């Protein structure tokens, strides 16, 4: 059985990122920069161990950033990045992993798909696997005295992390070349003559280096730099004798009511299913079986609130939801904003992230015959 370790290098002082705490402990989109990489690698199913290398004077910041996680104690780094990596690799050698991914804490936007590609290339036989990006800008070299030279760029690539290696080979490489003036581990693999596979890097896998990079990283992490999923839901209920309906959490006076085990709020049921769908958490019938007496006459707002709590448990956030109510009557327009407001309240969202629309079926089908009404919903959820 092969095993894969991940080593996160976080011992730098981040001098170029401006004053204050070392950059890897500065908050970006609500978490210390380091934490984004730790979470990515710790949650990845193909990775067995995550080892972080820090500077000895960063112990307190490290504990604060990771206190709720079960991680091995940090390893202390050295003066240069290469010393830190070597210390980390030597600590990991006790577990003799097959592969190691070495990642810079300054890259909080690497994705699970990128990790998949690196590990995939190693498992396919590469000795090293490095995410690379083609160079789009034209490259210039200053030759002095106001003169410049244009460099051919076809064979040039930008290398990112995480970089993956056969563990024994990269450890031996670092031990054989302890003083090599390198800025990444692929350079050690090059010196060691290892076979290196290039995998597709990601433009968004920014290395946070300069103060303005924090602004870009914040924007990307806060607005979908992480994984986004969409779920859909559909529901229909039959009209029966009565004097009101519940739709999208709002009680509306009407010549009929909707039949159902709960309050028959098709709008909230469709939305609850959409959220469960985005989570991959089954459907509303599994969570609230109609055969269960507890849910007889239940308010559907409690179903939706439950779905929202599952989103929080998954450390995800609802980005947006959109509901279409399909009915001839009641008229939805006058209640639209009350519905949006109520849903936003239940989900703890800004009202701008909730949409309610309405349509008819032009007299066709069960909706057209006013036997009942239906609702569709889409929910978009971001996983940090």
Q: Does 174 bind Mg ion (CB under 5 A)?
A: no
Interface segment toward Mg ion; rule CB under 5 A; list 66-74, 162-170, 264-272, 318-326? 264-272
Query: Does 326 engage in binding with Mg ion (CB under 5 A)?
Result: no
Determine contact, residues 149/141, Cβ cutoff 8 Å.
yes
Site track for Mg ion across 209-248, x = CB under 5 A: --------------------------x-------------
Based on the shown chain and the rule CB under 5 A, indicate whether residue 265 belongs to the binding site for Mg ion: no
Check residue 269 for interaction with Mg ion (CB under 5 A).
yes
The distance of closest approach from Cβ of residue 261 to Mg ion in the complex, given in angstroms and rounded to an integer, is 8
Q: Could you tell me where the DSSP H helices lie in the chain?
A: 33-43, 59-66, 81-92, 112-123, 167-176, 186-191, 211-222, 266-279, 284-287, 300-313, 336-347, 365-368
Measured distance CA(155)–CA(92) in Å, rounded: 34
d(CA 377, CA 283): 13
Question: Is-contact 141 148, C-beta < 8 A?
Answer: yes
Pairing of the two strands 372-383 and 316-326: antiparallel
| 104 lines the binding site for Mg ion (CB under 5 A) | no
- The number of residues that bind Mg ion (CB under 5 A) is 2
> Closest CB to Mg ion among 8 and 373?
373
**Taking CB under 5 A as the rule, does residue 263 contact Mg ion?**
no
Which residue, 221 or 339, is less far from Mg ion as judged by CB? 339
CB of 251 to Mg ion, least distance (A): 17
Selected range binding Mg ion among 4-12, 36-44, 73-81, 265-273, rule: CB under 5 A: 265-273
103 binds Mg ion (CB under 5 A): no
In this complex, which beta carbon is closest to Mg ion, that of residue 39 or of residue 263? 263
The upper half-sphere exposure of residue 47, i.e. CA atoms within 13 Å in the direction of its Cβ, equals 27
For residue 201, what are the contacts with CB-CB under 8 A and spacing of at least 6?
114, 131, 132, 133, 158, 159, 160
Of the two residues 82 and 269, which places its CB atom closer to Mg ion in the complex? Answer: 269
Shortest reach from residue 370's CB to Mg ion, in Å? 18
User: Is omega for the bond preceding 353 within 30 degrees of 0, making it cis?
Assistant: no
* Tokens (6 digits) for 146: 């106001």
Contact 217, 24 (CB under 8 A): no
| Minimum gap (Å) between residue 14 Cβ and Mg ion | 53
Query: Which residue ranges make up the site for Mg ion (CB under 5 A)?
Result: 235, 269
């Amino acid at each position: 059985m092969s095993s894969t370790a991940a080593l996160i290098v976080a011992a730098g002082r981040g001098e170029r990122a401006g004053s204050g705490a070392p950059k890897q402990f500065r908050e970006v989109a609500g978490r210390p920069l380091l934490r984004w990489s730790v979470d990515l690698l710790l949650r990845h199913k193909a990775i067995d161990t995550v080892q972080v290398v820090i500077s000895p004077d960063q112990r307190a910041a490290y504990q604060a950033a990771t206190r709720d996680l079960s991680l091995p104690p940090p390893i202390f780094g050295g003066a240069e990045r290469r010393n830190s990596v070597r210390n980390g690799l030597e600590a990991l050698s006790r577990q003799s992993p097959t592969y190691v991914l070495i990642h810079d804490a300054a890259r909080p936007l690497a994705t699970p798909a990128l990790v998949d590609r690196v590990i995939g290339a190693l498992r396919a036989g590469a000795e090293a696997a490095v995410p690379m990006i083609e160079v789009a800008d034209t490259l210039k070299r200053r030759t002095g005295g106001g003169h410049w030279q244009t460099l051919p760029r076809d064979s040039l690539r930008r290398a990112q992390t995480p970089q993956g290696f056969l563990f024994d080979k990269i450890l031996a490489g670092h031990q054989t070349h302890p003083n090599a003036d390198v800025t990444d581990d692929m350079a050690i693999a090059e010196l060691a003559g290892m076979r290196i596979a290039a995998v597709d890097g990601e433009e968004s896998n920014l290395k946070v280096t300069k103060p303005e990079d924090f602004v870009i990283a914040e924007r990307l992490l806060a607005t979908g730099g992480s994984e986004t999923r969409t779920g859909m839901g559909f529901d229909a209920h039959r009209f029966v004798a009565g004097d009101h309906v519940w739709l999208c959490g709002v009680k509306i006076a009407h010549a009929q009511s909707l039949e159902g085990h709960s309050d028959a709020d098709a709008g909230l049921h469709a939305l609850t299913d959409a959220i469960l769908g985005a989570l991959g958490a089954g459907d509303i019938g599994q969570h609230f079986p109609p055969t269960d007496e507890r849910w007889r006459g239940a308010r559907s707002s409690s179903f939706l609130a439950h779905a929202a709590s599952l989103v929080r448990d998954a450390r995800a956030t609802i980005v947006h939801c959109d509901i279409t109510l399909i009915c001839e009557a009641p008229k939805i327009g006058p209640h639209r904003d009350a519905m949006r407001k109520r849903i936003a309240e239940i989900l703890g969202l800004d009202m701008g992230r909730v949409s309610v629309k309405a349509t008819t079926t032009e007299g066709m089908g069960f909706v057209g015959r006013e036997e009942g009404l239906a609702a569709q919903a889409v929910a978009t959820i971001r996983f940090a």
